[in-house]
Structure formats: structure tokens, C-alpha cells
């Protein structure tokens, strides 16, 4: 199969891309889905039955994850939780595996959280149990936040928070690669809390349809609805400008995230007039050729600026692409409903 952009891949697996070639590709992906699903089920069963050991550490652990591939807003949720616990004078450490991080460097999520949460350590290690032991023994942390860890079964946790994207709640009904589910939907049984992200994009009746599915698998989970709200525009040197400073004017935009549709929605909400849009793979590490290509692209367009996500900006680290200023949209998480239910699960995890 030729390399597809995230949007093209979703066009294919959703069925929106029609024709005999698309149908044949979907059939091939369906055949590949079978062994992948079997492997995921076998692995989960080993942990469920005790055949595989689950390791615990001496402080409470909260996992933030999702069922599907791509962006559901895990990083804003981790930031929200870290700020909530810091507001309770709790020493927090964030731990992630460092997906697509170059040797000896932090990945985009770690760079973003480091800038937004300078008082919260972030450890990256494929061995998250080892990282947790360092956090407890050397950093004296009182609570651990596991970023993107719902499928990481080796480390025990006290609370599993699962985010579901309102735009693609259940991965088009298939496990990867035929769909975007990381595991069969029955994995929701392990969830202690479920957050419906981008909930503002659906009507109440549509949200209720999703909640009916969630309750079928996890009737005891705390349910909340959240949205990702744009806060400001920021450049690599740290200067901020109001969101409406670029509104109604022509811009170019690009991103390297799992679900570009969410970023496009943010731009539409800000009334930005997007003249051209480029996509890169999720967690893309930009090199010199990429920067030169983006600069040439921006110079060819009659636009006021170029806009990207914060995760892209922290990796690029430049204020301009060619002759155009580069800005990133700073996103924060707002809880629309269910914050009291979530806090009822968080309060027992506070130290002493």
C-alpha cells in the first residue's frame, strides 16, 4: 500500500474513499487486523489471569490513555491533572515511554509539558517501571502520571483514565490496521474514568449514543465531557499574541499529529482563513530538509503567517519559516461536565 497521510488513511478505513482499489486495500487491512487483534487479546489475557506480572510502586499511579491511535487530547489531560495535584501541594512526576524520541532527547509531548509545567519532572523511559522507581526514590514524588499508558499493562495503577475522541469514538469499528482501535473495544472494562474529548462538536443526542456504548462495557466508570480550547498564539521565543490577531486574514497551516481533523476544527473555530494545509506523520521529527521545504512553501503563498500545533513548534524552535512568522496555537482542556465525578476519584489518591 502506498504511504498515506493521516487524513488519507482515515478516508480509506472509514469507507469514504470508494472504488475497487480502495475496497481491495480495506480487504488487505482486514486480513492484517486478525493476527494483530489475536496478539493483543493474548497479551491482555496474560495480565488478566496473572500469567504476566503487574509491578506496583509505593505511590499512587494514574494512567491517561485511549483506545484509538492518534490524538485524543492525552497531553492536555495530563497537564490538567498535574496542575490539579500541584494545586493540592502534591509532588507529581509524569512518566512516558518517549515514543519517537531521538536517542538522548525528549519527544514532542515531553518538550511541550516541560515548557507548560516547569515544576513537574517528566521522565521518559521505555521501561516505565524503572522510571517510576527513580521518581519515587530519587525525586521523592508522591504521585505518578503515566502518559499514554492504557495498553501498558506491566505497571499497576490506581486509576485508569481513558479518552475517547468524539469525532472517531471507536476507531471505525476495527482494530488497527483496518481501523484505529489499539485493542478491541472490550478493553474499556478496565477504565475507571472515561472522558469524551471534543464533546462540544456533537449534539447531546450524539454524545448519549457514545455514552450508551461506554456504559455497556464499563458501567461503573466516572464519565466526563471535555473540550480543547485554544488559549493564545505563541512563537518559539515565547512571545504570545491574542488568537484573533490572525483571524480573518489568510494563513498557511501544518501539523504532525495523529488526527489533523482536530487541528483543522480549531482553526475553523478561530475564524482563520487557511489558504493551504500540509500534513506530516504523527510525532514527526523535523529535519533541515523539512524546514527548508516549509519555508519555500510559505514564501510561495500570499499569507500573513504560518500556524502549527504547539507540539510541532517545540521541535522546530524557529520564529519564522522563510519570510512568514510562525505561530502555534496553545490548547488547554476545559471540563464541560463531570468534573465532580472525576475529582471524587482523585481525592482518595492525595497523600496522607
pLDDT tens digits, residue range 339-351?
A: 999 999 999 999 9
Of 1-5, 145-149, 309-313, the range with the lowest mean pLDDT is: 1-5
If pLDDT is split at 50, 70 and 90, which confidence band does 106 have?
low
If pLDDT is split at 50, 70 and 90, which confidence band does 102 have?
low
Instruction: Locate the domains of the chain by residue range.
Output: 6-49, 61-227+334-349, 229-333
Q: Do domains 61-227+334-349 and 229-333 have the same CATH topology?
A: yes
Close Cβ partners of 334 (under 8 Å, ≥ 6 residues apart) = 226, 227, 228, 229
pLDDT at residue 1 is higher than 60? no
Mean pLDDT of 303-321: 94
Mean pLDDT of 64-91: 92
Tell me, what DSSP letter sits at residue 120?
S
If pLDDT is split at 50, 70 and 90, which confidence band does 228 have?
confident
If pLDDT is split at 50, 70 and 90, which confidence band does 101 have?
low
Q: What's domain 61-227+334-349's architecture? A: 3-Layer(aba) Sandwich (3.40)
- The SS3 of residue 96 is strand
Q: Which cell numbers hold the place of 74?
A: 492525552
- The SS3 of residue 116 is helix
Span 271-295, pLDDT tens digits: 899 999 999 988 888 999 999 999 9
Answer for the pair 195, 162: CB distance below 8 angstroms, yes or no.
yes
Q: Is the pTM of this model over 0.85?
A: yes
- CATH no. of 229-333: 3.40.50
Amino acid at each position: 500500500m502506498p504511504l498515506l497521510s493521516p487524513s488519507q488513511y482515515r478516508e480509506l478505513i472509514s469507507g469514504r474513499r470508494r472504488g475497487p482499489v480502495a475496497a481491495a486495500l480495506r480487504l488487505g487491512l482486514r486480513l492484517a487486523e486478525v493476527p494483530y487483534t489475536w496478539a493483543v487479546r493474548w497479551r491482555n489475557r496474560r495480565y488478566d489471569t496473572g500469567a504476566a506480572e503487574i509491578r506496583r510502586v509505593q505511590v499512587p499511579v494514574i494512567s491517561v490513555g485511549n483506545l484509538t491511535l492518534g490524538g485524543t487530547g492525552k497531553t492536555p489531560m495530563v497537564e490538567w491533572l498535574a496542575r490539579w495535584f500541584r494545586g493540592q501541594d502534591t509532588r507529581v512526576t509524569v512518566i512516558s515511554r518517549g515514543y519517537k524520541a531521538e536517542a538522548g532527547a525528549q519527544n514532542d509531548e515531553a518538550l511541550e509539558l516541560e515548557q507548560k509545567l516547569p515544576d513537574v519532572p517528566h521522565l521518559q523511559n521505555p521501561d516505565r517501571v524503572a522510571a517510576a522507581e527513580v521518581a519515587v526514590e530519587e525525586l521523592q514524588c508522591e504521585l505518578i502520571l503515566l502518559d499514554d499508558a492504557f495498553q501498558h499493562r506491566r505497571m499497576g495503577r490506581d486509576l485508569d483514565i481513558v479518552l475517547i475522541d468524539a469525532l472517531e469514538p471507536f476507531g471505525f469499528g476495527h482494530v488497527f490496521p483496518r481501523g484505529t482501535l489499539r485493542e478491541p473495544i472490550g478493553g474499556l472494562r478496565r477504565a475507571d474514568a472515561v472522558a469524551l474529548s471534543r464533546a462540544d462538536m456533537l449534539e447531546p443526542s450524539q454524545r448519549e449514543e457514545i455514552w450508551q456504548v461506554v456504559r455497556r462495557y464499563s458501567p461503573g466508570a466516572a464519565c466526563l465531557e471535555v473540550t480543547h480550547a485554544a488559549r493564545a498564539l505563541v512563537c518559539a521565543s515565547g512571545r504570545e499574541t491574542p488568537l484573533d490577531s490572525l483571524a480573518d486574514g489568510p494563513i498557511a497551516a501544518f501539523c504532525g499529529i495523529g488526527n489533523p481533523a482536530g487541528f483543522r476544527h480549531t482553526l475553523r473555530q478561530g475564524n482563520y482563513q487557511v489558504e493551504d494545509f500540509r500534513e506530516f506523520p504523527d510525532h514527526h521529527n523535523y529535519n533541515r530538509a523539512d524546514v527548508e521545504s516549509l519555508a519555500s512553501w510559505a514564501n510561495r503563498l500570499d499569507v500573513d503567517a504560518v500556524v502549527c500545533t504547539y507540539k510541532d513548534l517545540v521541535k522546530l524552535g524557529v520564529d519564522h519559516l522563510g519570510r512568514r512568522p510562525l505561530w502555534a496555537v496553545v490548547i488547554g482542556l476545559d471540563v464541560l461536565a463531570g468534573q465532580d465525578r472525576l475529582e471524587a476519584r482523585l481525592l482518595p489518591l492525595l497523600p496522607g
